[in-house]
Structure 1
């Protein structure tokens, strides 16, 4: 799963699902923490994305995208299930 930034100072940089300190990924229908759904795997995250949930994504090598951004499912490019199983 990835999102390519389309404008701004770092246009073209790739964001991937943000793994929090507890090792979990976050999906949500809103930007509010009370609505977060925490999952352990990229497969679970992709299922939520396919069902309309937005995903918190970041790029730790970026100066402008280290903090996770909430990316809508229509903007995310999904990798194949084989790639997700190996992630």
Structure 2
């Protein structure tokens, strides 16, 4: 969660619909991945990085979650924005 903007303006769109806010996103993450067996080991494949506007980029890719309770794979689009000199995820769409 350190890579995400810690703000109510953060948006996460996934299988449970739209979640707004860093704390709500963290709460959902803890519900979906309550133990190490569910969280497993996560790998990413980046397929594209493109500028949107000054200090903002989208990143498109695939994720591969290896875990003892069954693997999960999918795709994502992240929007990164440089805020106060640090790159933060301001929006995440994962499927």
* TM-score (ref. length: structure 2): 0.28
Q: Which has the larger radius of gyration?
A: 2
Between structures 1 and 2, the one with greater helix share: 1
